[in-house]
Structure 1
Amino acid sequence: MLLRKVWESLSGISSSSNSNTSNNSRIWQSTTSTCNFGSFDRLPEDVVGLILRKLGPNDAAKLCVVCKTWRQIVVSDNRLWIQFFQSNFVWDWDSIFFSETQLCYDHQLSLMQIYGYRVKVPGAIIVDGGSGYCKFGWSKYPRPSGRSATFLEFGNIEAPMYSRLRHFYATIYSRMQVKSTTQPIVVSIPICHYDDTESAKASRRQLKGAIYSALFDMNVPSVCAINQATLALYAARRTSGIVVNIGFHQTSVVPILHGKIMRKVGVEVVGMGALKLTGFLREQMQKQNIYFESLYTVRELKENLCYVALDYEAELSKDTLQSYELPREGLFTLSKERFQTGEILFQPRLAGVRAMGLHQAVALCMDHCHAAELMSDDSWFKTVVLCGGTACLPGLAERLEKELHELLPMYSSNGIRVIPPPYGVDSAWHGARLIGSLSNFPGAWCMTKKQLKQKLRKNH
């Protein structure tokens, strides 16, 4: 009766499709004898597609049991399921395609099966805890549901690591109003302990172990812990490249190949982060006798007025005066401070810092990647992905790309592309969301308490 009703609504289309019927009917002739569904078995393929699209994914999947002919079309017509994906996941179809083809371990599934598994995935809690700010929410939502200032609320460095983490995660669960025992969790591991030395490896193991212990003691069913740089790279729909993370206190340049950080190649670190830029802008405002209430005021002005000049010397001669109004504080007007603040990333000496510029650190990392000869060609490290709040400054990606082309020789600079933060300040969170929504999640991505104990026993 459902099919008859749909067919009646589409009956006008069949007459316009008569010219194509002879070609399409061959598909059905071979299976007519196995079906007992009457004239529906001999419908033209384009009409079948229209019926399936009108029914929607759930009813289309149920039609697999109607007859062999319909089952073949429903299962094998990937175009049909691509349309279902695009209509049900409008905001990130490209990311879904990337994650299921590049991150999923099982590539034998049809699009119909992938769709079905994704619908049934329970979802996960996503927690991206940076040194400055923390973002948290559900993997089934298109954006974080909450944020908190990590450095203010969880910055008690006197407390043991386990106690800090336990308090941190307990607070997140409380704010999300969800029990820790209900859902798996995907957490980002901060970019720290950069070296490939034994002491650095031990520090990373200690941090990861403390994260697992804190969460499993809260009876979380399973945990997926991944480095922030890798998550930001996934958000840009890449598995290999160089991630430039401008953190709260410092900037790290991280080479990643097939989702794994290449610490043996070398992670470059620049002692210049978001806090230094905010402090520099504060000093420039004080020199201009511009009054402000707090550092938060300066940060707001940095995020809304500052940018990175493509040519610093040429920008000095331009009129860059612009104003921005903050609620309850009034109107603020900045001029050269707008681009001088971001310039200290490339010329740290302007802020009195003895360090190499951002472009020099990225170029050095690329030189190390080229010398390591990890792949037959150098294309894997020529994609540079920016992440972090300060990385969202307008013009930063274009300036860095320009500097790299000028600094590196032709064979290294050819093909370099610098990508701005794909999801702004939430890039790492969105990379975690891709994992938490995979058709095979939690699967091999997560670790249970039992698996952790077995791993520790084996290592011991």
Structure 2
Amino acid sequence: MAMLLKKVWESVTNRRSSCPSSHVDSVISPPGYTKSPPPSSLGAFDRLPIDVVFQIVKLVGPKDAARLSVVCKSWRSLVSDDRLWIYFLQSYHDTWNSVFFAETNLQKFSSHIAKSSFMRIYRQRVQVPGAVIVDGGSGYYKFGWSKYACPSGRSATFSEFVNIEFPSYFRFRNFFATIYSRMQVKASAQPIVLSLPLRNYDDTESARASRRQLKEAIYTALFDMDVPAVCAVNQATLALYAAQRTSGIVVNIGFQVTSVVPILHGKVMRTVGVEVVDVGGLKLTEFLREQMQRNNINFRSLYTARTLKEKLCYIAADYEVELSKDTPASLEVPGEGWFTLSKERFTTGEVLFQPHIAGVHTKGLHEAVALCMDHCHAIGFTGDDTWFKTVVLSGGTALLPGLVGRLEKELHGLLPSSISKGIRVVSPAYGADTAWFGAKLIGNLSTFPESWCVTNKQFRRKPRLNLVW
């Protein structure tokens, strides 16, 4: 790199006086997306094809590429090319698709991307402090830093640690203190992006009061620990972001219940209604355990049944047809030995569509999603009647093979063609960690944290602050 910079400086020695002397920061915000060809000579590098020079600049890396931009107008024009910085962004923490989605769809200020080059966006993203991310799911909670490739840890069932139906300041304080201790980071060091399961589904006054009480307990506990800023987003919205969408219906198969959540432009449409199915991942695991016990299959813990559910079970495309088949499969569970399942493999997942076979009296998953879609279609918030036709699955149980195809099939059978045409079901983008990755998109945004977070000062003035959740 030193030789390259030396060569560049030598190639413009006779023209240095005509070059503007400014700091790198003043030249890494070229306007617009389209870059014009270099306005003047690149000196000795004119002997090389421009594509070769471009590849050389790629190899020197983003820091030295920015330094080249202060040499002269020719080099500034070359290294300001959006294609170069798209390349650098692709190699930095996240995939290019997720970076582009986040910067163009999750910005609080719609004019941001139009006014910023990708060179500037890259610089801002590098300077973003990052955030502690806590995905407090209804099952295991996940935590880590937004700059990490994935969660750094997960621990005990969140619903046992904190009862969010009856929020307690001291329980939340103890929970977050445990998180920071395990991450070995000071609470005052970085902002936090927090994900919690959706609760108090209705748009009634009592439901709104419950949500306010929950927010009060969380914010108070965190700000009393000197956390600089807090961004709290519900799990369903984060799962939608992870799927690189801002509108659609999220089906979150949680630990105890499954919620069907309509979301338009990142906002939960409570006026449409959140449908709830009283079947979650735990019920499927317990039903599999019951079947194994009836068939005299011995095991020592519920963890074994959960492992078998995750590794061997699937959703039948046609339940009645599947009953006539012989579908044995075996798996070795460490410490327990080998297990062979047959019909249990698909009858377990069938509980999502026919809860009554597990003794649960509630609507099936497909019926809840169809009802939600019908309400979205009837209310017609926008001229676009397709926003609710994308169904994003979330939760570890949503990874069961066959679920996507079966749900699409059932929806087409329940809904009229005017609604069912164009329906698409999307599997969890990152498995059980999908909501965590949605939070990661926010924590790495070039405008984070100021456009997303509530600060301690703002919270203390909360009568004048509308903390929408």
- TM-score norm. by structure 1 comes to 0.90
CA contact (8 A) 1:255 1:265 kept: yes
- Residues 430-445 of structure 1: pairs in structure 2 closer than 5 A: 430-445=437-452
Are residues 337 and 152 of structure 1, via their aligned partners in 2, closer, same or farther at CA, if it must alter by over 3 Å? Answer: same
Give 2:3's aligned residue.
Answer: 2
Shift of 1:274: 1.1
- Residues 195-210 of structure 1: pairs in structure 2 closer than 5 A: 195-210=202-217
Aligned equivalents of 1:456, 1:2: Cα separation in 2: 60
Are residues 290 and 376 of structure 1, via their aligned partners in 2, closer, same or farther at CA, if it must alter by over 3 Å? Answer: same
- Residues 324-335 of structure 1: pairs in structure 2 closer than 5 A: 324-335=331-342
**Helix, strand or coil: the match of 1:439?**
coil
Q: Deviations over 1:177-228 (max 9, x none)?
A: 1111101100013210000001101111111111111100111111100011
CA contact (8 A) 1:189 1:208 kept: no
Residue identity in the other structure for 2:74: T
Shift of 1:92: 2.2
- Residues 233-272 of structure 1: pairs in structure 2 closer than 5 A: 233-272=240-279
Aligned equivalents of 1:102, 1:459: Cα separation in 2: 22
Residue identity in the other structure for 2:455: T
- Of 458, 463, 469 in structure 2, the residue corresponding to residue 456 of structure 1 is 463
Are residues 122 and 288 of structure 1, via their aligned partners in 2, closer, same or farther at CA, if it must alter by over 3 Å? Answer: same
CA contact (8 A) 1:6 1:51 kept: no
Give 1:293's aligned residue.
Answer: 300
Are residues 62 and 130 of structure 1, via their aligned partners in 2, closer, same or farther at CA, if it must alter by over 3 Å? Answer: same
Aligned equivalents of 1:159, 1:251: Cα separation in 2: 20
Residue identity in the other structure for 1:46: D
- Of 140, 150, 158 in structure 1, the residue corresponding to residue 157 of structure 2 is 150
Q: Deviations over 1:270-318 (max 9, x none)?
A: 1111111111111101110111111111111111111111111111111
Structure 1 gap segments, 5+ residues each: 8-25
Whether 1:84 aligns to 2:88 is yes
CA contact (8 A) 1:232 1:431 kept: yes
CA contact (8 A) 1:346 1:357 kept: yes
Shift of 1:85: 1.7
Shift of 1:447: 1.0
Give 1:95's aligned residue.
Answer: 98
Shift of 1:87: 2.9
Give 1:23's aligned residue.
Answer: none
Aligned length: 435
Give 2:62's aligned residue.
Answer: 57
- Of 26, 29, 45 in structure 1, the residue corresponding to residue 50 of structure 2 is 45
Are residues 222 and 155 of structure 1, via their aligned partners in 2, closer, same or farther at CA, if it must alter by over 3 Å? Answer: closer
Identity %: 67
Residue identity in the other structure for 2:85: W
Aligned equivalents of 2:166, 2:202: Cα separation in 1: 25
Structure 2 gap segments, 5+ residues each: 9-35
Q: Deviations over 1:51-77 (max 9, x none)?
A: 3112211111111110012112222x1
Shift of 1:133: 1.1
**Helix, strand or coil: the match of 1:223?**
strand
Give 1:427's aligned residue.
Answer: 434
CA contact (8 A) 1:41 1:69 kept: no
- Residues 304-315 of structure 1: pairs in structure 2 closer than 5 A: 304-315=311-322
- TM-score norm. by structure 2 comes to 0.89
CA contact (8 A) 1:345 1:358 kept: yes
Give 2:372's aligned residue.
Answer: 365
Residue identity in the other structure for 1:98: F
Are residues 27 and 307 of structure 1, via their aligned partners in 2, closer, same or farther at CA, if it must alter by over 3 Å? Answer: closer
Give 2:15's aligned residue.
Answer: none
Are residues 307 and 331 of structure 1, via their aligned partners in 2, closer, same or farther at CA, if it must alter by over 3 Å? Answer: same
Aligned equivalents of 2:466, 2:358: Cα separation in 1: 47
Residue identity in the other structure for 1:99: A
Are residues 286 and 253 of structure 1, via their aligned partners in 2, closer, same or farther at CA, if it must alter by over 3 Å? Answer: same
Aligned equivalents of 1:268, 1:341: Cα separation in 2: 22
Shift of 1:45: 2.9
CA contact (8 A) 2:162 2:175 kept: no
Aligned equivalents of 1:116, 1:149: Cα separation in 2: 38
Residue identity in the other structure for 1:140: K
**Helix, strand or coil: the match of 1:276?**
helix
Shift of 1:38: 4.0
Whether 1:390 aligns to 2:397 is yes
Give 1:22's aligned residue.
Answer: none
Shift of 1:157: 8.4
CA contact (8 A) 2:161 2:175 kept: yes
CA contact (8 A) 1:144 1:429 kept: yes
Give 2:33's aligned residue.
Answer: none
Are residues 27 and 377 of structure 1, via their aligned partners in 2, closer, same or farther at CA, if it must alter by over 3 Å? Answer: closer
- Of 390, 411, 419 in structure 2, the residue corresponding to residue 404 of structure 1 is 411
Aligned equivalents of 1:254, 1:406: Cα separation in 2: 21
Are residues 233 and 158 of structure 1, via their aligned partners in 2, closer, same or farther at CA, if it must alter by over 3 Å? Answer: closer
Residue identity in the other structure for 1:3: L
CA contact (8 A) 1:278 1:302 kept: yes
**Helix, strand or coil: the match of 1:65?**
coil
